[in-house]
Amino acid sequence: MRATSPERPGGESPRRSTAAEARAAFAHWVNEVPEGLPFGQIVVRALPGNGGYELRHVADVGIPDGDLVAHNEPRAAREIAKLTEEGEYRPLKSSPNLKRGWVLRVKDDRALYVAMNYLYPSGVAHWHLYRNGELEITNYRENAARQSGIYKRVQRLSDEGVQNTAKACCEDAVCLKKTLWDVDENTPLAADRGEGEIPCPEPCSIFVSLARRVRLFERENKRDLDAIGLSPSEKEDLSALVEAAATGSVKFAREAEFEEPLNERRMRYRKLTLVPKLRPVEDTAPEEG
Amino acid sequence: MKALIIVGHGSHLNEDSSLPVYEHAALVRDRYAGEFDEVVECFWKEEPSMRHVLDMVEAEEVCVVPAFISEGYFTQQVIPRELGLDGPVTHRDGRTIRYAGPLGTFEGMPDVILERVDDLLKGKEMRPGRTALVLLGHGTDLNKNSGGVVYLNAERIRERGVYDLVEVGFLDQDPPIAEVVEGVEAENVVLIPVFIAEGWHTRETIPEDLRLTGEVTERADKTIFYGAPVGTHPSVADLIISRARETKEREAQLARDVS
């Protein structure tokens, strides 16, 4: 449940700011471990003596300062988190594609909180609520029920579609959050929920966007299968993949460009649903040798 | 403590959409330091989501300003739903959350449009003759408010009498922008998109449809000046603050209505 102020009879209760508690708890958590703690793809470390904090990519631990670009303004974290190493836009900050090569030093826990909220938006607040057993979880069906406009159709996505979308969209290979929600209260999520520190309490907008695309695939599956059971979009994706591979390098679509065949999450979904059609179980005997 | 939350649409595909929200937030922190303890951005399609932004805000007094042009689907349906708002004022969990109106309908918007025009025309040569201002809206047949806000601003600017003509054209409803620009009887046509952010339309579809060559396009009978979207102008930060301050008055008005 969402944290609320306890009711006190006979008057206004003082408001409890869970965000302020989260800020303090996170700083305390970091202060306790001098060598620093990992959070997503970063390591946060308390700087001895001055109350400040240092953040860097987990893969840059031990790299001399001179080899990193140094920042000291907490809002620099937004620029750090915006693009991948290759310059691609990052619509999902918990994707495992945070760039390396920087170090950010901030003066206190408030500045740390600002920086963290650009690197992992609302991550610290949810981490804190989850540790206290107070994080409100919204299951898929509940989330879908409030969608409108072009997303309303996700209400009709099958349970199997939700499960496959979660495997394609939420596992650690593509998102470092720990997935806490289920399809509904009686249908647990089958996807690997992940090992990370950052809880995911509800399907995000990237998920809903992929779910919409998968729902369109489902509709097509019922109506338009050919003699060997392939749908038009499956054939389109296969053609695009063959054509791209034939050039010697597959150029992937942008991270959340689910309308394009060569999108990684769309391909992960195809791996779950198309590959079994193309390579039925009896054909996959282990190779000899 | 007081917090200002600026809500943007955001994008899954590019960084242009959220950029003005971040820039206006930075200007607000700078120009109005002390008025808000926290200035936080949130989005429909980016993080932090509207759904979770209140989890990360410490203040008990919160003002929400939508960085949207018109009153419509997002400001009336999506934003209140995702933020859990009951109306102009919401009391929840010991917090007061005030919800401001969109930017496009605000009385200060015509000033920002005219500042945008000044920026565009600075140092550029005009033809002798008439000058028309053409406001370009997205528009949609699904919601009359989308186009209505563009007509509203055109009328407010027309009343000031600074241009020979003030016209309106749209991408997704009548009159189509290409017809308006071709048909307008003026030697100089100043075209300003009434959009929040740069994006596919302002960078690609509009220049293509109108065969624009950049900020200045010379035609046989006219020169077309094409401005950046009004929503990226630094003065929009002041508009956001005005909208935020106004919510207090809205609350007082509501209280009077009730009593």
Grade residue B20 by pLDDT with cuts at 50, 70 and 90: very high
Q: What percent of chain A has pLDDT over 70?
A: 92
Same domain as B157, residue B49: no
**Same-domain pairing of B224 and B237:** no
B55 at interface of A, judged by CB pairs closer than 8 A: yes
Query: What 8-state DSSP symbol labels residue B139?
Result: -
Of A4, A78, A254, the CB nearest to B22: A78
Count of domains forming chain B? 2
The interaxial angle of helices A109-119 and A123-131, nearest 10 deg, is 100
Residues B64 and B114 in one domain: no
The yes-or-no verdict on residue A32 having pLDDT over 60 is yes
What is the average pLDDT across B213-239?
Answer: 97
Residue A37 has pLDDT above 90, yes or no: yes
- What mean pLDDT is predicted for residues A145-153? 95
In a mutational test of the A interface, the residue from B37, B58, B62 whose CB has the highest number of chain A CBs within 10 Å is: B58
Between CA B137 and CA B146 the distance in angstroms is 8
Instruction: Tell me the pLDDT tens digit for each residue of B51-93.
Output: 999 999 999 999 999 999 998 889 999 999 999 999 999 999 8
Rounded CA-CA distance A117/A177 in Å is 14
Which residues from chain A sit within 8 angstroms of residue B94, using beta carbons? 4-5, 12-16
Residues from chain A that touch B52, judged by Cβ atoms under 8 A, are: 121-122, 125-126, 201-202
Residue with the two structure tokens 């102008």: B233
Between A13-27, B9-23, B68-82, the lowest mean confidence (pLDDT) is in A13-27
Q: Would you call B93 and A93 a contact, using CB atoms and an 8 Å cutoff?
A: no
State how far residue B9 is from chain A, nearest Cα, in angstroms: 12
pLDDT of A5: 41
Q: What is the pLDDT of residue A283?
A: 53
Over residues A245-269, mean pLDDT: 97
Count CB-CB contacts under 10 A for residue A208. Answer: 20
Let me know the angle formed at the C-alpha of B49 by B235 and A186, rounded to the nearest 5 degrees: 165
pLDDT confidence of residue B159: 96
Judged by CB atoms closer than 8 Å, whether chains meet at B13 and A19 is answered as: no
- Assess B53–A contact: CB distance below 8 Å, yes or no: yes
Closest by alpha carbon to A101, among A141, A59, A131, A72? A59
**Residue B2 confidence (pLDDT) above 70:** yes
Q: Decide: A93 and A172 in contact? Cβ < 8 Å.
A: no
Judged by CB atoms closer than 8 Å, whether chains meet at B47 and A75 is answered as: no
**Residues B72, B152 share a domain:** no
Same domain assignment for residues B224 and B128: yes
Confidence (pLDDT) at A8: 39
**Longest alpha-carbon distance in chain B:** 64
- At residue A1, does pLDDT exceed 60? no
When the pLDDT of each residue in chain B is averaged and rounded to a whole number, the result is 94
Residues B142, B76 share a domain: no
Asked if A122's CB is within 8 angstroms of B47's CB, the reply is yes
Q: Residue B196: its pLDDT value, please?
A: 95
Supply the pLDDT for residue A186: 98
**pLDDT confidence band for A70 (50 / 70 / 90):** very high
Distance from B189 to chain A by nearest Cα, in Å? 35
B73 and A CB contact within 8 Å: yes
Are the C-beta atoms of B160 and B111 separated by less than 8 Å? no
CA–CA separation, A245 vs A62, rounded Å? 38
pLDDT at residue A258 greater than cutoff 50: yes
Q: How do residues A205-234 score in pLDDT, each as one tens digit? A: 999 999 999 999 999 977 788 888 899 999
A81-to-A46, A84, A254 alpha-carbon distances in Å? 21, 8, 16
Å from B137 to nearest chain A CA? 21
What residues of A are in contact with residue B53 (Cβ under 8 Å)? 122
Enumerate the domain spans of chain A.
Answer: 18-131, 140-282
Given CB atoms, is B142 within the 8 Å cutoff of chain A? no
A91 touches chain B (CB under 8 A): yes
3-state secondary structure of B113: helix
Return the structure tokens found at B186. 């003026």
> Residue A11: its pLDDT value, please?
44
Which residues, 6 or more positions from A38, have their beta carbon under 8 angstroms from its beta carbon? A58, A197
Provide the shortest C-alpha distance from residue A251 to chain B (in Å): 16
- Report pLDDT for B140: 81
* pLDDT tens for each residue of A72-103: 999 999 999 999 999 999 999 999 999 999 99
Portion of chain B with pLDDT greater than 70, in percent: 97
Closest by Cα among B27, B49, B47 to B39: B27
- Do residues A165 and A207 touch, judged by C-beta distance below 8 A? yes
Least confident window among A17-31, B85-99, B133-147, B171-185: B133-147
Residue A288 has pLDDT above 80, yes or no: no
A287: pLDDT strictly greater than 60: no
Specify the range with the lowest mean pLDDT, choosing from A196-210, B40-54, B245-259: B245-259
pLDDT of B158 above 60: yes
pLDDT at residue B195 is higher than 80 = yes
pLDDT number for residue B253: 72
Q: Which of A16, A20, A256 sits opposite B12 (nearest CB)?
A: A256
Interface check A274 vs B, CB under 8 A: no
Q: Which residues of A touch B56 (CB under 8 A)?
A: 19, 22, 117, 121-122, 124-125
Backbone torsions φ then ψ of A145, nearest 5 degrees: -60, -25
Q: pLDDT above 90 covers what percent of chain A?
A: 86
Q: Is the dihedral of CA A16, A53, B52, A76 positive or negative?
A: positive
Determine if the peptide bond prior to A188 is cis (ω within 30°): no
Residues A122, B56: C-beta atoms closer than 8 Å: yes
Residues B83 and B181 occupy one common structural domain: no
Find the DSSP H helices in chain B: 19-31, 50-53, 79-83, 109-121, 144-160, 177-183, 200, 206-210, 236-258
Residue of B nearest to A256 (CA): B12
- Token readout for B41 is 């951005």
As a residue count, chain B comes to 259
What is the pLDDT, as a whole number, of residue A31?
96
pLDDT at A147: 96
Indicate which CATH number applies to the domain containing B145.
3.40.50.1400
Secondary structure in 3-state letters for chain A: CCCCCCCCCCCCCCCCCHHHHHHHHHHHHHHCCCCCEEECCEEEEECCCCCCEEEEEHHHCCCCHHHCEEECCCCHHHHHHHECCCCCECCCCCCCCCCCCEEEEECCHHHHHHHHHHHCCCHHHHHHHHHCCCCCCCCHHHHHHCCCHHHHHHHHCCHHHHHHHHHHHCCCCCCCCEECCCCECCECCCCCCCCCCCEECCCCHHHHHHHHHHHHHHHHHHHCCCCCCCCHHHHHHHHHHHHHHCCCCCCCCCCCCCCCCCCHHHHHHHHHHCHHHHCCHHHCCCCCC
Q: Say yes or no to pLDDT of B256 above 90.
A: no
CB contact under 8 A, A19 and B49: no
**Mean pLDDT across B159-181:** 95
| pLDDT on residue B200 | 87
Indicate the residue type of B119: D
Residue whose entry in the numeric block shows the structure tokens 């929200």? B21
- Give mean pLDDT, residues B123-152: 91
- Give the angle subtended at the CA of B29 by the CAs of B244 and A16, to the nearest 5°: 70
Query: Mean pLDDT of all residues in chain A?
Result: 92
Place of tokens 């060569």: A262
On the question of pLDDT at A9 being above 50, the answer is no
Closest Cβ–Cβ partner in B44, B45, B60 for A15: B60
Interchain contact B219–A (C-beta under 8 A): no
To test the contact with chain B by mutation, choose from A15, A260, A264 the residue with the greatest count of B C-beta atoms within 10 A, namely A15
Say if residue A23's pLDDT is above 80: yes
> What does the pLDDT read at residue A7?
42
Residue in A closest to B17 by C-alpha = A91
Residue A164 CA to residue A189 CA, distance in Å, equals 10
Cross-chain Cβ contact A92/B47 below 8 Å: yes
Structural domain containing residue B254: 2-102+233-258
Q: Which ipTM score applies to this complex?
A: 0.91
Tell the CATH topology of A18-131.
Gyrase A; domain 2 (3.30.1360)
